Structure 1
Amino acid sequence: MPDKLLQYLRCFNDDKSGVTTIAISPDGQTLVSGNWDKTIKIWHLATGQLMRTLEGHKSPLTCVTLSPNGQTLVSSSWDKTVKIWDFHTGEIKHSWKIYESEEYCIVDCSVISPDGKTLYTGTRYGSTYYWDVNSGKELGNLGITSLGSTLLAMSADGRTLAGTYTGTLKVYDLPQNTRRFRVETGHDSPSLAISPDGETIFIGDYDGKIHLWGAHQGQELSTLGGHSGIVAIGVSPDGKMLASGNEQGTIKLWELDSKTEICSLEGHSAEISKLIFSPDNQTLVSSSLDASIKVWGIR
């Protein structure tokens, strides 16, 4: 397929502050960025207009997550706190700090269940906590021996939770929170995604490969190769495409049925921090530590 399958549309500038993470609202209208300057910015995706800036964290952001109904925003930061915001008013509804090893209690990742009621967070120490979104109360901890995760991914139906930590992949059945399997991948696993149907787990690695794992038995199925230093991956909502980004700022788009590379994109000048497809599969959004967010049209 030709490179013209992806068309560069626009760039958001973030005042020279690296963009560490992004999220797209369920209706595909709004983009949220978490930034190195400790702020959260709300953008109009179609125009690139900055609509609002949220302040409250004392350190750079590590993750932003939106609830499926678009009402709630969850953020985490190097300041070791998790905050739950009213997405429309910008009010902080709940805020808490996780107390573990002082060095490693940073929350690196979070996902929200499809019903919007439960939040799962993975810490650098290796624990995975789950919380009541409405009250902010801790419901449990899957435990460092059960599902320690610096990366989390949840299937669209909310029945499968995958986590990676120090070369280990662990998968849980939800909402029972029972472990399905645990397997040593032998890879550093700096990026993680799951297919919308929950059947395949994708792990991007510094070795230049994306490893595909069966989500039920824990067997490695195949690999996509030829992209060195992968640090970010994202899967399209229809499950047909995967995007990967590396430390040099290069993005590759892959067709999953044929397991072939569709095109390679240049434009960022630093490490890719996040790759997200819009809900309608028509747009890919990339963020980078070069302080830019780029929007690509898929055709």
Structure 2
Amino acid sequence: MEWQKAQLTSTISERSGPVADLTFSPDGRLLACGSCDSSVKLWDIETGQRLRSVFGYPLGVNAVAISPEGKTLAVGAPDGSVDLWGIETGQHLLTLRGKGRITSLAFTPQGKTLICGSDPSFSDTLFASPSAQSSNSIHQKAGNINIWHLASASLLHTLGESEDTVNALSISACGKIIATGHRDNTVKVWDIKAPAQPRYIFNDHTDAVYGIAISPDSQIIASGSGDKTIKLWHLKTGTYSSLIGHADAIYDVIFSPDGNFLASSSGDGTIVIWQLKTGQKISTLSGYTQHLNSVNTIAFSPNGKKLASGCGDGTIKIWNLS
């Protein structure tokens, strides 16, 4: 891919508040957006048209995820609930009840399990979504990382200390490990089959970890921090390398689907593309096309040809990388 020639193809904007999370559908046709307004929106990438909105989140949404088969949308709310919606029908399917603001969501590769990260220092029940009070809600007292079995709507595991804050999480493509980034500057790696204690704890960041990603081959974990650095943790050797190229906190990191590149977004309004083999910065998406505020979230399309970025100014930009 000729990353240096990345082009801005469209800008989606409704000025509805900062964009907090983005995720593509498995076929790359839809983009789900969670933001600081009262709804989650589904956009058609080719036309730029809004296909559907899910309302009922007056305090905003920090986390969204689409199931691997592309039929279910998961929405994390500030009251600790996670709503599951049918993408084609718009029907509410189920509510899972935890505690604290939901900060991150990830389906396992088979789609049978949902992993939820939360911030237990913030919990709101006054503005709980109406579905959270319905008869098909599952209520549990839960910790900061919850692993839910969806078919039975049962809580399989709770990871970590109850007061730890999870800012971000990622599940490996093999479905065997979970990586989490925390407010206390740490990165933790969990074995999903034996999750009693983290397999690794990395504490070399000097500020909160806001972005986390696992490489497609499950060998490298990337973490982005308020200390303006990205660290690449090599699981086989237990060593790390640092990438430095942003002028502000790094809010998201994501590997390209082929595993050869890493994208990072920052409070400085830029997106940087890194070549993993050399550790070199090969492109900065900025200039006249740059966001006017912090870039909070980024997402690669499944084929790696597009990159979506969400900004604090309420805009979403779609970049053509092919």
Q: What's the TM-score, normalizing by structure 2?
A: 0.85
Distance 1:42 1:272, change over 3 A: same
| Contact map agreement 1:58 1:79 (CA 8 A) in 2 | no
Q: Distance in 2 between matches of 1:16 and 1:110?
A: 22
Distance 1:174 1:216, change over 3 A: farther
| Contact map agreement 1:171 1:215 (CA 8 A) in 2 | no
**1:127 corresponds to:** 144
Larger deviation: 132-141 or 111-120? 132-141
1:131 Cα shift? 0.7
1:212 Cα shift? 0.7
Structure 2 SS opposite 1:294: strand
**2:139 corresponds to:** none
Structure 2 SS opposite 1:90: coil
What letter matches 1:79 in structure 2? Answer: D
Q: Distance in 2 between matches of 1:247 and 1:78?
A: 23
| 1:182 matched to 2:201 | yes
**2:298 corresponds to:** 275
**1:102 corresponds to:** none
Q: Distance in 2 between matches of 1:135 and 1:89?
A: 22
Q: CA RMSD in A?
A: 2.1
Distance 1:85 1:219, change over 3 A: same
**2:57 corresponds to:** 57
Larger deviation: 148-157 or 252-261? 148-157
Structure 2 SS opposite 1:84: strand
**1:117 corresponds to:** 112
Q: Kindly provide the CA deviation profile for residues 10-48 of structure 1, in whole angstroms up to 9, marking residues without a partner as x.
A: 111124432221110001111011121120111101221
**1:143 corresponds to:** 160
Distance 1:38 1:216, change over 3 A: farther
Q: Kindly provide the CA deviation profile for residues 200-223 of structure 1, in whole angstroms up to 9, marking residues without a partner as x.
A: 011112332211112345432x11
Distance 1:124 1:145, change over 3 A: closer
1:120 Cα shift? 1.0
| 1:297 matched to 2:292 | no
**2:179 corresponds to:** 162
Structure 1 SS opposite 2:223: strand
Q: What's the TM-score, normalizing by structure 1?
A: 0.91
What letter matches 1:200 in structure 2? Answer: I
1:137 Cα shift? 2.4
1:243 Cα shift? 1.1
1:140 Cα shift? 2.1
| Contact map agreement 2:15 2:313 (CA 8 A) in 1 | no
Picking from 203, 212, 215, the partner of 1:192 is 212
Q: Distance in 2 between matches of 1:135 and 1:58?
A: 29
1:241 Cα shift? 1.2
| Contact map agreement 2:65 2:107 (CA 8 A) in 1 | yes
1:127 Cα shift? 1.8
Q: Distance in 1 between matches of 2:86 and 2:153?
A: 13
**2:11 corresponds to:** 11
**1:28 corresponds to:** 28
Q: Distance in 2 between matches of 1:21 and 1:117?
A: 22
| Contact map agreement 1:235 1:276 (CA 8 A) in 2 | no
Q: Distance in 1 between matches of 2:228 and 2:201?
A: 23
Distance 1:173 1:2, change over 3 A: closer
| Contact map agreement 1:128 1:148 (CA 8 A) in 2 | no
1:78 Cα shift? 2.1
Structure 1 SS opposite 2:34: strand
What letter matches 2:103 in structure 1? Answer: D
Q: Distance in 2 between matches of 1:62 and 1:85?
A: 16
Percent identity between the two aligned chains: 31
| Contact map agreement 2:114 2:150 (CA 8 A) in 1 | yes
| Contact map agreement 1:128 1:147 (CA 8 A) in 2 | no
| Contact map agreement 1:154 1:194 (CA 8 A) in 2 | yes
What letter matches 2:19 in structure 1? Answer: V
**2:69 corresponds to:** 69
Picking from 150, 168, 171, the partner of 2:189 is 171
Q: Distance in 2 between matches of 1:290 and 1:218?
A: 38
Q: Distance in 2 between matches of 1:2 and 1:156?
A: 25
1:68 Cα shift? 0.8
Structure 1 unaligned runs (5+)?
Answer: 100-104
1:96 Cα shift? 3.6
Structure 2 unaligned runs (5+)?
Answer: 121-142
- Say how many residue pairs are matched: 293
Q: Kindly provide the CA deviation profile for residues 246-295 of structure 1, in whole angstroms up to 9, marking residues without a partner as x.
A: 11311111111111111112221111121111111111110112111101
Distance 1:53 1:146, change over 3 A: closer
1:54 Cα shift? 1.0
Q: Distance in 2 between matches of 1:149 and 1:15?
A: 28
